[in-house]
Structure 1
Amino acid sequence: MNLSKENQIENLRLIRRKEVQTKTGLGASSIYAMMQQGTFPKAVNISERRVAWIESEVDAWIAERVAKHRANIATMEA
């Protein structure tokens, strides 16, 4: 599947921790703990003292959580 240049740029957008927190509802310590456990996307070093996350990876993590939630509800209702 070939993505348009616009979609490639959108998928590679870097977002800072506060935006990650807003999108996920997680606190900073939870984000870093989950990164350490390998259950949350790793941050990318963007400078010596700055990190950011690839937005599409965070969005995929959120989508996975929503899918699991919906599957659990469907299982309970069956």
Structure 2
Amino acid sequence: MVKKLLKIRDVMERTACSRTAIYEKMKHGAFPKQIKLGERAVAWMESDIDAWIEQQQRASV
């Protein structure tokens, strides 16, 4: 299985959350942590974002 990384714009599009909301949720432990790729580059594991979306869907039922 190929592990894919998502940049912030992809995460924002998939989750319908703003950049500010994503970082605020991360601060409170309610959103997956990013992976540092370099000095000024981060990304999120696609599988972590997919799991978070599924969790949100289950919680809304």
Q: Same fold (TM over 0.5)?
A: yes
State the match for 1:4 in structure 2.
none
Output the CA distance in 2 between the equivalents of 1:66 and 1:33: 20
Which of the pair has more CA radius of gyration?
1
Aligned residues: 61
Give the one of 3, 15, 23 matched to 2:14: 23
Extract unaligned runs of 5+ from structure 2: none
State the match for 1:33 in structure 2.
24
Output the CA distance in 1 between the equivalents of 2:24 and 2:59: 21
Cα offset for 1:69?
Answer: 1.1
Extract unaligned runs of 5+ from structure 1: 1-6, 71-78
Cα offset for 1:50?
Answer: 0.3
Confirm whether residue 55 of structure 1 aligns to residue 40 of structure 2: no
Output the CA distance in 2 between the equivalents of 1:55 and 1:35: 16
Output the CA distance in 1 between the equivalents of 2:36 and 2:9: 16
Q: Which amino acid aligns with 2:6?
A: I
Root-mean-square deviation (CA, aligned residues, Å) is 0.7
Q: What percentage of residue pairs aligned between the two structures are identical?
A: 34
